[in-house]
């Protein structure tokens, strides 16, 4: 059964809820990544090997992982407290400067490990190469205790908790179990190998590949298969809600295993899907903190993702840009309630 989005939410309701964002503080905890972009042009092939020669025209650094999730919340007008780890190195200092520049409140655990960095080489808006530098190691017990003390100090100001799991060692089972004792809504952008950590959380937001791998499925073909996987995830994790992002096909929203919705993609142009999952998780959590409505919040997150995938690299949106985009597109937008 399909229905028009106007029956659920309209532009005035969105604007009214946006005004409440500044009073909400979201805790974001997880793996941070320094995203490094090398922008260049190719005009010749190397005489040394059959590879293009990239002439560098510009470079930029931005927040990735938990940093990007935090920035999405901040740029949309919410208050955010970021807890993560950086290395005691040059790249750690770059991350710290960006976080300070963006006025993101944070606790940055400095570890004797290199800061995780992903370098992407971009030519004519196309990524031609990615280089990753990382060394992962789980938090030690004394580091976990430091994190717990910081969380305990901040938790009374916090509306909900966002877990940004990139599988880089910062999120341990011990830390997740501690978060569950705090009686706050926990929304997780999960890594498949950590699915078992997230039993009984409020909501998880995997993409379709993460969802299938998280419960050991590999032969996933169509929407019906993904719906079945979603029901299995809810049965396995006992999570209250589930969002599975589908790329160009939008997202599936499980308010529970008996109430499932398909929200189509709203993206007009897709230049880069980097960080779109961060946007979905961050904006969903922020809007949920004021609306307390799963489907409404998922729709808003879907529209936000539709904006950022039209930009190059890990990007965000803001209230003004969102409202203009939403107003142009929501009136003829339909949602499908799936028969189960």
* Residues known to be catalytic: 278
Cα(209)–Cα(52) distance, integer angstroms: 32
d(CA 92, CA 86): 5
Residue 184 CA to residue 180 CA, distance in Å, equals 7
Closest among 238, 239, 244 to 224, alpha carbons compared:
244
Angle at 115 between CA 110 and CA 119, to 5 degrees: 160
For residues 150-160, b (16+ Cβ closer than 10 Å) or e, as one string?
bbeeeeeebbb
For residue 163, CA distances in Å to 2, 130, 176, 180 come to 32, 25, 9, 11
**Cα–Cα dist 57/336, whole Å:** 46
Instruction: Give the separation between CA 237 and CA 9, rounded to whole angstroms.
Output: 30
């Amino acid at each position: 059964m399909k229905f028009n989005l106007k029956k659920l939410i309209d532009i005035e309701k969105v604007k009214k809820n946006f005004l409440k964002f500044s009073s909400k503080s979201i805790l974001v905890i997880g793996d941070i990544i320094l995203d490094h972009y090398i922008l260049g042009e190719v005009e010749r092939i190397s005489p040394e090997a059959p590879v293009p020669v990239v002439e560098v025209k510009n470079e930029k650094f931005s927040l990735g992982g938990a940093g990007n999730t935090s920035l999405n919340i901040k740029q949309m007008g919410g208050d955010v407290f970021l807890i993560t780890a950086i290395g005691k190195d040059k790249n750690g200092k770059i991350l710290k400067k960006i976080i300070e520049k963006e006025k993101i409140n944070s606790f940055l655990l400095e570890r004797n490990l290199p800061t995780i960095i992903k370098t992407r080489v971009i030519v004519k808006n196309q990524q031609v190469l990615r280089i990753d530098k990382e060394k992962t190691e789980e938090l030690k017990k004394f580091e976990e205790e430091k994190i717990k003390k910081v969380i305990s100090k901040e938790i009374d100001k916090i509306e909900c908790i966002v877990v940004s799991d990139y599988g880089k060692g910062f999120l341990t089972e011990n830390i997740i179990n501690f978060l569950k004792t705090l009686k706050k809504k926990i929304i997780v952008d999960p890594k498949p190998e950590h699915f078992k950590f997230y039993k009984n959380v409020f909501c998880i937001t995997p993409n379709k590949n993460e969802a299938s791998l998280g419960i050991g499925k590999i032969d996933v073909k169509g929407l019906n298969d993904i719906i079945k996987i979603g029901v299995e995830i809810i049965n396995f994790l006992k999570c209250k809600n589930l969002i599975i992002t589908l790329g160009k096909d939008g997202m599936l929203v499980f308010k529970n295993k008996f109430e499932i919705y398909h929200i189509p993609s709203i993206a007009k142009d897709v230049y880069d899907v980097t960080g779109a999952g961060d946007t979905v998780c961050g904006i969903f959590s922020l809007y949920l903190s004021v609306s307390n409505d799963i489907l409404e919040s998922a729709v808003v997150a879907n529209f936000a993702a539709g904006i950022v995938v039209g930009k190059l690299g890990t990007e965000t949106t803001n209230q003004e840009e969102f409202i203009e985009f939403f107003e142009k597109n929501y009136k003829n937008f339909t949602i499908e309630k799936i028969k189960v």
